[in-house]
Amino acid sequence: MALTPELSKQAKWKEIAGIPLAAATVDNWNQIQAFKAKPDDLLICTYPKSGTTWIQEIVDMIEQNGDVEKCQRDTIQHRHPFIEWARPPQPSGVDKANEMPSPRILKTHLSTQLLPPSFWKSNCKFLYVARNAKDCMVSYYHFYRMNQVLPDPGTWDEYFETFISGKVNWGSWFDHVRGWWEIRDRYQTLFLFYEDMKRDPKREIQKVMQFMGKNLDEEVLEKIVQETAFEKMKENPMTNRSTVPKSLLDQSISPFMRKGTVGDWKNHFTVAQNEKFDEIYRQKMKGTSINFCMEL
């Protein structure tokens, strides 16, 4: 029987420990888990839609000492190997990382629970960016709408329930953020917040610079602030995903660089949804000291 588009979309997703992941990632799980991290690796870690592209561009700009041309060498999704990425016959994220000279800068959306164990053993540097759950949910909803490989998110009300249940790609926001927050003092971790990056980008970029062991002039720092601003990155073909075919990302439905703001959740959540979400948040995040800013 031929698969309908819907069924063929679903067939592309499997689970590991109850966490939905791309089927090709799950099929490649042994290679991913056996990945050999090195002590001088820097791993960019995020829950999806938390500012991954933004922090990647910042890290690359710092690494290239503010040289814009060098940052134009490739699209952002190809500059840092994405550890769990697999789309045969293309080389996997692990293959690309293995080919990369050290010191390597790598990327993952995996939770602490699923991270290849060698990252812990090698005491790598972790750069985590967290975004408040409500804006993350909104951004992920629009990404599900425009991403032609992900399952149909349904209506906003339907997606709201799916997100809360954690049955989205890479799993529960709550488990992800809790996990990385809890390990931050035991490993070399810089834990940043999307909202702080919006409020004071220069200060947060300075933190990244120090964490990377770099010392750049004030002028270079200012340039990085300007080049990584939302409006600049929205127009930059190396960061705005415009090179990805429409059959994968349909930006006429919703642009990848959509709004880049804090508090867009207020345009989506009903009063009842907000109350329900706050209650679930209290339960799921009970006992953690993490604090999110919900509006600027």
Give dist(CA 77, CA 94) in Å, integer. 14
Give dist(CA 30, CA 34) in Å, integer. 6
Q: Is 4 helix (H, G, I), strand (E, B) or coil?
A: coil
Among 28, 52, 92, 273, binds ligand PPS (CB under 6 A): 52
| Residue 257 interacts with ligand PPS (CB under 6 A): yes or no | yes
Largest CA distance in the chain: 63
| Residue 20 interacts with ligand PPS (CB under 6 A): yes or no | no
Of 41 and 204, which has the nearer Cβ to ligand PPS? 204
Residues 28-47 that bind ligand PPS (CB under 6 A): 46
Among 25, 28, 50, 189, binds ligand PPS (CB under 6 A): 50
State in angstroms the smallest separation of the CB of 112 from ligand PPS.
17
**Cβ atoms within 10 Å, residue 285:** 17
State in angstroms the smallest separation of the CB of 139 from ligand PPS.
3
Write out the two tokens for 195.
């909202």
Q: Which residues are catalytic?
A: 109
Give dist(CA 32, CA 85) in Å, integer. 9
Non-local (6+) Cβ contacts of 245 within 8 A are none
State in angstroms the smallest separation of the CB of 287 from ligand PPS.
27
Write out the two tokens for 124.
């790598």
Write out the two tokens for 225.
């602030």
Size of the site for ligand PPS (CB under 6 A): 21
HSE-CB at 280 with a 13 A cutoff on CA atoms is 18
* Binding map of ligand PPS across residues 194-233, x = CB under 6 A, - = no contact: ----------------------------------xxx--x
Helices and strands, counts by H and E, the chain: 16, 6
Of 205 and 233, which has the nearer Cβ to ligand PPS? 233
| Residue 49 interacts with ligand PPS (CB under 6 A): yes or no | yes
| Residue 111 interacts with ligand PPS (CB under 6 A): yes or no | no
Among 20, 48, 171, 179, binds ligand PPS (CB under 6 A): 48
Where do runs of H (alpha helix) occur along 64-183? Answer: 68-71, 76-79, 93-99, 118-121, 133-146, 156-165, 173-183
Tell me the window of 82-90, 97-105, 177-185, 254-262 that interacts with ligand PPS (CB under 6 A).
Answer: 254-262
Residue 241 and residue 77 in contact, taking contact as beta carbons nearer than 8 Å = yes
Of 174 and 265, which has the nearer Cβ to ligand PPS? 265
Residue 12 and residue 22 in contact, taking contact as beta carbons nearer than 8 Å = yes
| Residue 260 interacts with ligand PPS (CB under 6 A): yes or no | yes
State in angstroms the smallest separation of the CB of 85 from ligand PPS.
11
Q: Provide the phi-psi class of 187: left if phi over 0, else alpha when psi is between -120 and 50, else beta.
A: beta
* Binding map of ligand PPS across residues 53-82, x = CB under 6 A, - = no contact: xx----------------------------
Of 120 and 221, which has the nearer Cβ to ligand PPS? 221
Q: Strand pairing partners for 108?
A: 45
Give the interface with ligand PPS as residue ranges (CB under 6 A).
46, 48-54, 135, 139, 142-143, 228-230, 233, 257-260, 264
